[in-house]
Amino acid sequence: MTMLGLMQQQDLLISQLIEHAATHHGQVEIVSHVSDSRSYRTTWGEVRQRAKRLANALTDLGVQPGQRIATLAWNTHRHLELYFAVAGMGAVSHTVNPRLFAEQISYIINHAADEYVFFDLGFADQLVAIADQLPTVKGFVALCERSELPDIALPNLLCYEDLIAQASPDFEWPALDENTASSLCYTSGTTGNPKGVLYSHRSTLLHAWTACTVDGLALSTRDSVLLAVPMFHVNAWGIPYAAAMCGAKLVLPGPGVSGERLYAHMVKEGCTFSLGVPTVWLGFFQYIESQRAQLDLSQLKLQRVVVGGSAAPRAMIEKFGTLLDTFVIQAWGMTETSPLATIGNLLPSQQDLPLDKRFDIQARQGRAIFGIEVGIFSPEGKRLPHDGKSVGEIKVRGPWVVSAYYGSQPGAALGEGGWFATGDVALIDSDGFVQITDRTKDVIKSGGEWISSIDLENVAVGHPKVQEAAVIGVAHSKWQERPLLIVVPKTGECITAAEMTEFMQDRVARWWLPDDVVFVDALPHTATGKLLKTQLREQFKGHRLSTDPV
Ligand code: AMP
């Protein structure tokens, strides 16, 4: 018979994070840019105090445990206060991606049956347009001071700073079960309706702990963190919680994430750590390269940058390393995995490799972190070896992986063995490094073999004249599909298809070389900055490849 341990049973709760941050790192700063011209300096101590006021205000508004509170907001101190107040009181913080189409936003708010919507003033018009289609919403709270409250047609419009000012700072966080729902994020699926992933206090804390481990993101109280990933994208990759856990300084850029703004914040706030999708860093380097003569790069203290959400091109990893001496940690995950699942840190045997070799390793998506099991599987469901060659769908399981989408029964999203099928295609090498080669639906199937569109895109953006690139499969009468490369040249640059092919031919297998290269001014992106390949496939549906004999 087993014996129970004799240690304290304590639920893991988000309220403990803010209590810890305020008690032990109360003076650590939170710098918040609510607009390009207006910023606030607050502290973890003040965030706790205002979160408690907000919890009282929400209680007075009649918000009950389990009810959903939506936000349409940038990264600001007010959004941070909402994270802790809403979950801390036992309600559910629902971050809505404001970049979605109006129909998607109303679908999501109605599906979640949100009670209140807190919004930044920049999103007021979007809300006015859909307000009459949101039957569950009892009121709208503008994230502003009274003097800034606009005269707009939103029913039951309240002012955030009024709510805070009028409420008491005394609030006792309830003792919740750690499995209580804490936040809700909808996937930004490119097809079908968005689906809700409902995180718990327990999953959020375990995930935050991981970010603070050395082989996780090594987040610590010595870090000044520039949060360049939006708080509506998988809870800013869980960093607000992890930063409270370790007492890191947070720099919240609000709506301004241009290369120029990010650079200025990094210099001013001594940022050591940042996170963002590749598109954000493309803008960052564009700024640096265009202003190179005026900038003193030695002013930057940036040690680590987490790049995820889409594959980090090797050229970007190299630029961070050689120009700024910044280590890129590539991370892979998804809304369904909270999102951290694999993280790219070097093994002892890799640390002293020449830079070029290290960049190659960093260009993969990293290794599974403790808590996440990762496997690759054939279409028939057979587990494939980690031999660096076998390619299959990646499946995951662990305590911060989704079990079911919001509204369905626990376990409904899982397959045999409790695995969650991610829809990403990958190989895993013998050291456990995962390399994502595609989404299942983006793989290019050429004559029975698979070509990785991500690999080709990464090589293409390595060309010094290329700003961005996408590769899609186009119908071919002999090979079924062949790659078409779509290129956005850097401003003022001119490239030819022959130049692109010549650049790529030594860098990829010959039969992978794109059959055609086309040039466009811009590529379509999803609301979270990923290439919108469904649209590209639609756009180039009729493209006749020059290699097609028919
Ligand atoms: P989301 O749920 O919006 O965070 O999107 C998750 C998807 O983004 C994953 O399933 C991957 O297809 C893609 N993704 C995330 N991180 C990476 C990465 N480091 N490399 C390649 N694809 C990534």
Q: Tell me the pLDDT tens digit for each residue of 519-545.
A: 999 999 988 888 999 999 999 998 999
Whether residue 242 contacts residue 273, with contact meaning beta carbons closer than 8 Å, is answered with no
Q: How far apart are CA 55 and CA 53, in angstroms?
A: 5
What DSSP letter does each residue of 416-436 carry, written as one string? GGGPEEEEEEEEE-TT--EEE
pLDDT at 175: 98
Residue 549: is its pLDDT beyond 90?
A: no
Domain ranges of the chain: 38-171+178-200, 368-439, 443-539
Q: Per-residue pLDDT averaged across 260-289, rounded?
A: 96
User: Residue-wise over 277-303: b if at least 16 C-beta within 10 A, else e?
Assistant: bbbbbbbbbbbbeeeeeeeeeeebbbb
Starting at the earlier edge strand, list the strands of the sheet with 373-377: 373-377, 392-397, 420-428, 434-439
Q: Which one of the listed residues 450, 465, 490, 501 is annotated catalytic?
A: 450
The token pair at 383 is 């587990």
Positive or negative: CA dihedral 235, 237, 238, 242: negative
Nearest ligand 1 atom, CA 422: 10
Kindly give the distance from the C-alpha atom of residue 308 to the centroid of ligand 1, in angstroms, as a whole number.
Answer: 7
Residue 72: is its pLDDT beyond 90?
A: yes
Q: Tell me the pLDDT tens digit for each residue of 80-91.
A: 999 999 999 999
Residue 159: Cβ within 10 Å count: 17
Q: How far apart are CA 303 and CA 531, in angstroms?
A: 28
Residue 49: is its pLDDT beyond 90?
A: yes
Whether residue 47 contacts residue 84, with contact meaning beta carbons closer than 8 Å, is answered with yes
Q: How far apart are CA 207 and CA 338, in angstroms?
A: 7
Q: Per-residue pLDDT averaged across 425-434, rounded?
A: 97
Is residue 445 part of the annotated active site? The answer reads yes
Average per-residue pLDDT in the chain? 96
For the chain, how many helices (H) and strands (E)? 16, 25
Residues 6+ apart with CB under 8 A from 71: 79, 82, 93, 94, 95, 96, 117, 118, 119, 231, 232
- Best probe residue, ligand 1, of 376, 424, 425 (max atoms within 8 Å of C-beta): 424
Is residue 187 part of the annotated active site? The answer reads yes
Q: Residue type at 54?
A: L
User: Nearest to residue 112, comparing CAs of 87, 130, 95?
Assistant: 95
Residues 6+ apart with CB under 8 A from 438: 424, 425, 444, 450, 452, 453, 454
Q: Per-residue pLDDT averaged across 50-79, rounded?
A: 98
Tell me what percent of the residues of the chain surpass a pLDDT of 70: 99
Whether residue 420 contacts residue 397, with contact meaning beta carbons closer than 8 Å, is answered with yes
Kindly give the distance from the C-alpha atom of residue 58 to the centroid of ligand 1, in angstroms, as a whole number.
Answer: 34
Kindly give the distance from the C-alpha atom of residue 19 to the centroid of ligand 1, in angstroms, as a whole number.
Answer: 32
CATH code for 368-439?
A: 2.30.38.10
Nearest ligand 1 atom, CA 234: 4
Is residue 450 part of the annotated active site? The answer reads yes
Pick the CATH number of 443-539 from 3.50.50.60, 3.30.300.30, 3.40.50.970, 1.10.760.10: 3.30.300.30
Residues 6+ apart with CB under 8 A from 259: 283, 284, 285, 286, 287, 288
User: Nearest to residue 256, comparing CAs of 220, 230, 279?
Assistant: 230
For ligand 1, atom 6, name the residue with the nearest CA.
334
What DSSP letter does each residue of 352-371 carry, written as one string? TS-HHHHHHHHTS--EEPTT
Residue 191: is its pLDDT beyond 80?
A: no
Nearest ligand 1 atom, CA 528: 3
Residues 6+ apart with CB under 8 A from 490: 286, 465, 466, 467
Residue 125: pLDDT band with limits 50, 70, 90:
very high
Asked whether the whole model's pTM tops 0.85, one would answer: yes
Q: Tell me the pLDDT tens digit for each residue of 176-188.
A: 999 999 999 999 7
Residues 6+ apart with CB under 8 A from 428: 374, 376, 386, 388, 434, 435
38-171+178-200 fold: Rossmann fold (3.40.50)
Q: Between residues 549 and 272, which one has the greater pLDDT? A: 272
DSSP assignment letter at 215? T
Q: Which residues line ligand 1 (CB under 6 A)?
A: 187-188, 234, 308-311, 330-332, 334-335, 339, 365, 422, 424, 436, 439, 528
Q: How far apart are CA 196 and CA 198, in angstroms?
A: 6
Is residue 180 part of the annotated active site? The answer reads no
User: Nearest to residue 305, comparing CAs of 371, 229, 235, 238?
Assistant: 229
Residue 190: pLDDT band with limits 50, 70, 90:
low
From 68-72, 431-435, 487-491, 527-531, the region with the lowest mean pLDDT: 527-531
